[in-house]
Structure 1
C-alpha cells in the first residue's frame, strides 16, 4: 500500500483483488484441497480508501468462501480493480468475461473464469480520449503455452477492445495475461496496432523473488502508436507481490 500511494498513478489496474463484505476480520484463508493461502479480506476497500481522489471500479470474476481460524466461511469475491483519478472523466466502459462465466456458488474447477475491464477517459490537457484495458488471463495448471481456451480468450479480449475504443483513441492494454511471449494473444492484439513494451524493450523478467518457478513472463503492457511513451519500467523494488509492477508514463 505505501508503494502504491508513493507511485501516485492517475490510473491503477490491479488483478487478484479480494472483497469480502460480510467479514470483520482483516485476514481470512483461501482453501483449495491442500492449498491454504492467506487473503487480505477487504483489499478492494483498503485500496479505495488509500486513493480518495480516484473513482474505483471492482469487477469480480468469481465468488466463493474464505475461512477464519475457526473454520467459518465468508462469501467473498475475487477479480479486477481499476482506479481512475477524478480529474480524468470516465466517458466509456467495457466489462466482460474472456473465459468462463461468473459463479458465486464456489470458486469452481480450474481453469477458472477470468474477465477484462476497460475504461475510456477524457484527457482535459489534449482534448482527446484514451482507452485503458486490463485483463487477468486464465491460469492453467499445465502451463502458459497456448491452448484452445487461450485462443478464445484472446478473441474475447479483442472484441471488448473494439466495443470500447473509438477511432483515434490512444490505447493501452495491460495485465497478468498468464501467457508466453510467443502467444497468439500478441498477434491478435498486434492486428489493432498494439505492441508490447515488456518484451519490446528487452525486459526478461516480470516476476520477483517470491516466485520460485523458472518461467519469468506473465505480465505485459501494450500500446498503440498514438501513445507517446515518456518512460516505462518493470519495477524491481519494492517487491510488492510475486509480480513486478508495470509503470507507464505517457502523454
Structure 2
C-alpha cells in the first residue's frame, strides 16, 4: 500500500501538480491540504493565482479513485482524500480540531478540521487521518490553541482501535509540545528518518518543517521518503506500508 500526503498550495503550481498526480495514479491513497472545490474566488489574501476547482481536476486525473472533500471554509476550501476503488472505505468523516468564530472569510486564520477514513483491503482494516493544522502568523511554535488542537486530535486517535496513519501539514516544528502530544503511541517518521526539511525552493522562510506522517506500531513501514517533486511550496511525503 502506498500513500502520499501533500499540501497542494491551492493548486498554485497547477500544471506541474496535475502532471505529478497523473504520473502517480498507482498510489493507493492521497491526502491533500489547501484544496479548492467549485470556489467563486480564493480565500487567500496573497497575490498568487490558485486553481478554484482543483478537487474536480484531481478527480478527473484519478478515475480509479474515489474522492472525499471535507470543506472548512464556506463549502469551497478544505482538505481531501482520494482512495483507490479496490480499497473499501468502511466509514469517513471529520472532526473540528480548531474553531475561529471571528474568522472574516479571507486569509489562513480559519478553523481547522481533521478528515478520517476507516479502510479495509484483504481483510485488513486501517484508518487514515488527514489534517491541516492551524496557522497563526507567528511561526510554528507552541501556543495554547495549538496545544488544544493536538489534544483534540490525540483524544480522537485514542478512540480508534485499528492501525492508524496520521498525516498532513501540521504547521508545527518537530520539537514542540504540540508534536509530543501527537507522538504518544505513534512513530514520527520525520524524526525516525532524520528529515531536515519538508519544504521546496518555493518556500523562503526559515522554518523548514510543516508536514508529517505518524504511524501506530501495527503499521509496517516498507519505505518512507520526502519526494523531490516541486509541485507546491510543500514537498510530497510518500509512505509504502503494510
Query: Which residue is 1:111 aligned to?
Result: 109
> Is 2:232 the counterpart of 1:241?
yes
Q: Flag structure 2 segments of 5+ consecutive residues without an equivalent.
A: 1-17
Q: Deviations over 1:104-146 (max 9, x none)?
A: x85257632111101010121xx22111101000111111100
Pick closer, same or farther for the CA change 1:100–1:109 going to 2, 3 Å: farther
Look up the match of 1:19. Answer: 37
Tell me, yes or no, if the aligned pair for 1:154 and 1:184 is still in contact at 8 Å.
no
Q: Give per-residue Cα distances to partners, 1:160-210, cap 9 Å, x unaligned.
A: 3234x22xx22110000001101223322232x211111221110100000
Name the count of aligned residue pairs: 224
User: CA separation of 1:93/1:160 partners in 2, compared to 1, >3 Å: closer, same or farther?
Assistant: farther
Which secondary structure state, in structure 1, belongs to the residue aligned with residue 96 of structure 2?
A: strand
TM-score, length-scaled by structure 2: 0.86
Q: Which of these residues, 202, 210, 215, is aligned with residue 218 of structure 1?
A: 210
Kindly tell me: are residues 41 and 6 of structure 1, through their superposed partners in 2, closer, same or farther at Cα, counting changes over 3 Å?
Answer: same
Q: Secondary structure at the residue paired with 1:149?
A: helix
TM-score w.r.t. length of structure 1: 0.83
Match of 2:121? Answer: 123
CA distance in 1, matches of 2:234, 2:44: 22
Partners of 1:93 and 1:119 within 8 A in 2: yes
Would you tell me which structure has more strand in proportion to its own residues? Answer: 1
Instruction: Decide which structure has the larger Cα Rg and report it.
Output: 1
The unaligned stretches of length 5 or more in structure 1 are 64-75
- Matched with 1:60 is 71
Q: Which has the higher contact order (CA 8 A, sep 6+)?
A: 2
In 2, Cα distance between the equivalents of 1:161 and 1:95? Answer: 12
Matching residue of 2:58: 47
In the alignment, what sits opposite 2:153? 157
CA distance in 1 between counterparts of 2:140 and 2:178 reads 12
Q: State the shift of 1:101 in Å.
A: 5.7
Cα drift, residue 228 of structure 1: 0.8
Alignment correspondent of 1:140:
136
**RMSD, aligned CA:** 2.0
